[in-house]
Copies of this chain bind each other. A is one copy, B any other.
Amino acid sequence: MAFGPAAMGYDRAITIFSPDGSLYQVDYAFEAVKKGWTTLGVKTKAGVVLIGEKRKATQLLDVDSIEKVFILDDHVGCSFAGLASDGRILIDYARSQALQHRLIYDEPINIDYLTKLVSDVKQMYTQHGGVRPFGVALIIGGIDRGKTPKLLMTEPSGQFMPYYAVAIGQGGYTATEYFEKNYREDLNMQDTILLGIRALASTLKPGEKLAPSNIEVGFADVDSGMFRKMSFEERASILQKL
């Protein structure tokens, strides 16, 4: 430890604040998010779209069978960047909470509340010893009652924020810059989806190209209030509009 990094050992456990009030382990967990496949979400007056990229490391990977956008309930879906197995645990939790809510109250769960429930689990893993934080950020989006589009991103710290557009993972910074230049709230659903796809396209390296088999798209428009995923054909068709 004698020639250790500036962190000076304050980064060895989630239960230790550094002298400047940081929780290094939470910061490090966010690094796992930054190494994940790019994922993004856009919210406009017309609705919400979530788009996840899938990278084919080898031809042998059956990439079509990999899910990156998940339906949580009829009206809400999510995507994530970071440790896939951590993400899976939280998605399972969100689905069971949404289902329980329908069973008990006979109505769809409020999306802010669902996000809070997931984030409370995350918070617990930042304050009690013997565990590590969840190395994953979730983008949750859908349509709440009153035709209200919702888009939220939960951080490893358990903090969550509402966004108009948000992008995480390897291409997160580039896509965010794209959104800052091009986002407008008054788009129709198709243009909302196209905005998201263009933001994802902006993160590609020269020579790379989006294909229907390496993106997943889920969206919910305020009219139907339903969150659904695009089929391969729909993805192929919308990619042609680029």
**Chain A residues within CB distance 8 Å of chain B:** 1-5, 7-25, 28-35, 43, 58-62, 65-66, 83-86, 88-89, 92, 116, 119-120, 122-123, 125-135, 151, 157-159, 161-166, 176, 179-180, 183
Contact residue among B32, B61, B157 (Cβ-Cβ distance under 8 Å from A161): B61
Q: Which residue of B lies closest to A148 (CB)?
A: B65
- With A13-B16, A129-B130 in contact, do A120 and B62 touch (Cβ < 8 Å)? no
Distance A14 CA – B12 CA, assembled complex (angstroms)? 11
Are A60 and B176 in contact, CB atoms less than 8 angstroms apart?
Answer: yes
29 contacts between A and B (CB under 8 A): A1-B1, A16-B25, A16-B132, A17-B25, A17-B29, A17-B133, A18-B28, A19-B28, A20-B31, A21-B30, A21-B33, A60-B164, A60-B166, A60-B176, A62-B151, A62-B162, A62-B164, A83-B157, A83-B159, A84-B157, A85-B119, A85-B123, A85-B126, A85-B159, A86-B127, A127-B132, A127-B134, A129-B129, A130-B130
Q: Which of chain B's residues have a CB closer than 8 A to the CB of A21?
A: 28-35, 135
| Also in contact, A128 and B127, with CB within 8 A (given A31-B20, A60-B164, A164-B60) | no
Do B62 and A163 have beta carbons less than 8 Å apart? yes
Q: Given A89-B120, A158-B85, does the pair A9, B1 have CB atoms closer than 8 Å?
A: yes
Count of chain copies: 7
Residues of B within 8 Å of A88, CB to CB, are: 116, 119-120, 123, 158
Q: How far is the CA of A30 from the CA of B21 in the complex (A)?
A: 7
CA distance A116 to B35 in the complex (A): 23
A7 x B31 contact (CB < 8 A): no
Given contacts A17-B25, A127-B132, 9 further A-B contacts (CB under 8 A): A18-B28, A19-B31, A20-B35, A23-B132, A60-B180, A61-B164, A83-B157, A88-B123, A89-B123
Given A18-B28, A129-B130, is A180 in contact with B58 using a C-beta cutoff of 8 Å? yes
A131 vs B130: C-alpha distance in the bound complex, in angstroms?
9
Bound form: Cα–Cα A33–B179 in Å: 31
- The answer to whether A61 touches B28 (Cβ under 8 A) is no
Asked, given contacts A15-B130, A19-B28, A62-B163, whether A3 binds B5 with beta carbons under 8 Å apart, the answer is no
